[in-house]
């Protein structure tokens, strides 16, 4: 599913966001989506497949500073 989305990106800026979190009793107590947040942590911190996928697609990762500059440029 994410692979299709990445390869269908159009020129311009696309924001992809995740909610990474460590599996703790507190996390499990505050929301029913705790498992997906733990999966997000694994995806962005421990699984190289996402970065490889982005590289294969030609997507360019930028940070908030670059994003702000693009927003200001209009």
| 42-51 confidence digits (pLDDT tens) | 999 999 998 8
Rounded mean pLDDT, 54-59: 93
Q: How far apart are CA 62 and CA 71, in angstroms?
A: 13
| Residue length of the chain | 74
Phi and psi of 10, rounded to 5°?
A: -100, 160
- SS3 at position 47: coil
Global confidence as pTM: 0.72
All residues at 6 or more sequence positions from 51 whose CB lies less than 8 Å from its CB, including other chains: none
Helices (runs of H) and strands (runs of E) counted in the chain: 5, 0
């Amino acid at each position: 599913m994410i692979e299709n989305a990445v390869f269908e990106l159009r020129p311009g800026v696309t924001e992809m966001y995740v909610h990474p979190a460590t599996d703790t009793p507190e996390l499990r107590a505050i929301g029913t989506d705790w498992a997906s947040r733990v999966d997000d942590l694994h995806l962005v911190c421990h699984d190289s497949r996402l970065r490889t996928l982005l590289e294969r697609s030609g997507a360019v990762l930028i940070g908030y500073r670059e994003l702000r500059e693009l927003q200001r440029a209009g």
